[in-house]
Structure 1
């Protein structure tokens, strides 16, 4: 944990969560499975939990970071730089395979029984790793929508995410459909890759977290497309746990070029349909080796809306296991958000994001476009 501050602002940055859901190394959460289950006793199956205000997690169930930080980590925390591979592969097909591997690398899950804080409206997170600059903003609270913009000036790469989780309760599990578009632009090659996210599933019996559902990745410029299916195990076994399988094909002819199969928390292999040759395209141990905690490089440039500042007192209290203070500090953050919303309503004002323009349809199809062309270097950096 890194804690720095002055009279105006305090920052608490905790160590990164690993790809397999292990909790932050600074904070080992006790087993809260029974109390976690008790939160849902009065929730009807099929209920949309995104707007279910009766469920407010006490701080004992939180890891010391915001969901905005958790999303950001999937973009800027890595050991092996797969983005470099995406940009520097020699052919369109090789670049597409690298993009598939990068997409899999963003698949991470929190530990069972704990969750990040729900970001407040207008909360931001700004971090740099080398030449990669990443900026997020919580652009909606009801429903919760986060926007991410990242640019790498050295590699001439840009990616934009819009993330809108819609969790629903199904008796023995919660499934969160992650709506919103993701796009990765390799500007040197004039290629844009569009993709979606799988669903996050939380099973109570037996207790586990996994990803399920279909992911489509396509590049209109090259005509290449991938279909991936994330699969979890049944209640009777663990063979399929964390599985991913699919194919890469040419969209014009629908000809399959490669088959994809493996586990997103270990290795994923690519099989060439023509000759049967198999190649490992993704190794989680390499990507997530030696993850380093971000540090504050320039405290004076940190915005008051920064996640690590908004939740600093709550995080400090959780890390010290001062649950009474953690509860009070968390209530203070949440009460302040309600107060600001009430003031806006009384004045007839509509809150407008500072960093993104946002549009959405009746089908909950949210789109978030960054206002700035490039993301500036951040005051918080990941050591290399």
Structure 2
């Protein structure tokens, strides 16, 4: 069976109580590593810090739901215009880290996000969408989109990094315990000439270790260093005992306003009854409110079509061409030369 499964409606009992608009918060769950990026002494050390932070976000992004709920669950499909806001309080005297997320498209589903620690001089902007299909008993999730990270140094100089997104394999379906494994490779390209390539490997039938990675850092095409380990555990500099990544450090959960103080388009308020039904096992209540939200959205789209209008984004603006992507993608094999983007306009 093949084809796009992204828009498939799932019954509440296999759903996560969390909307996809909350997923960009995983980028910020190691705020100490994010804030420390600009503190690197030179271009190479900053490139290594970007790589370390990125790898250490993967565990939260791709294994958290297995740990909390026993297996991978399908997240709630966001509605157009849905929003999520969060903050990680001051870390190591380097200020707060703030997150803004907005669902900028429903067909196809696209989530835009902006993560920033102004005091530390680090900001991340990106967007992602998912296209899913079945293959050999697994669900394959191709993540569309990219992220760009900008470092502002004390002298005002800026460094930009392009981050591509990994492909996911949801395995364990036939045993009824789905889990995520990363596949293929991703890259982080900088305008300082440094490029990190991360290759992902899982546990095979005969050999291999789950959640393994090997990363290589190059500068202007010449190899500088390599690193290997697991993105859920420890990674080391190749052929040494020097720890490069430690994903066993507890993550820092994002802080969010109480539901009663949130706006009507904020995720946890919008989906509160559905989420409560899923958590308590009242799937009838969850299904009723999920249907209500989906029907209201269909009616809004019909009303807009009848009025000849369209939904207006609040925090992001779509651009057909991302100049940072266009510049930095040249150093990465196998990615399109051009890609659109969503730029933050209100923060």
Q: TM-score interval w.r.t. the shorter chain?
A: 0.7 to 0.9
Matched residue, 2:187: 216
CA contact (8 A) 2:28 2:115 kept: no
Distance across 1 between alignment mates of 2:168 and 2:162 = 20
- For CA contacts below 8 A with separation 6 or more, give which structure has more relative contact order: 1
Work out the number of aligned pairs and report it. 312
**1:338 correspondence with 2:289:** no
Q: Deviations over 1:80-100 (max 9, x none)?
A: 611122111222111111100
Matched residue, 2:166: 198
Change (3 A) 1:293 1:126: closer
Matched residue, 1:296: 257
> Aligned with 1:331: secondary structure?
helix
Matched residue, 1:59: 12
**1:135 correspondence with 2:95:** no
Between Structure 1 and Structure 2, the one with more helix by share is 2
Q: Which runs of 5+ in 2 are unaligned?
A: 90-95, 322-335
Change (3 A) 1:113 1:99: closer
> Aligned with 1:81: secondary structure?
helix
Matched residue, 1:261: 228
Matched residue, 2:128: 163
* Root mean square deviation of aligned Cα: 2.1
- TM-score, normalized by length of structure 2? 0.84
Distance across 2 between alignment mates of 1:258 and 1:352 = 46
Distance across 2 between alignment mates of 1:192 and 1:350 = 33
Distance across 2 between alignment mates of 1:125 and 1:106 = 19
Distance across 1 between alignment mates of 2:101 and 2:32 = 20
1:1-384 matched pairs, under 5 angstroms: 45-51=1-7, 55-69=8-22, 71-78=23-30, 81-107=32-58, 108-109=61-62, 110-111=65-66, 112-130=71-89, 131-188=96-153, 189-203=157-171, 204-205=173-174, 207-220=178-191, 222-234=192-204, 236-237=205-206, 239-251=208-220, 254-271=221-238, 277-286=240-249, 288-289=250-251, 291-292=252-253, 294-296=255-257, 300=261, 302-360=262-320, 365-372=339-346, 375=347
> Aligned with 1:303: secondary structure?
coil
Distance across 2 between alignment mates of 1:357 and 1:172 = 39
Shift of 1:249: 0.8
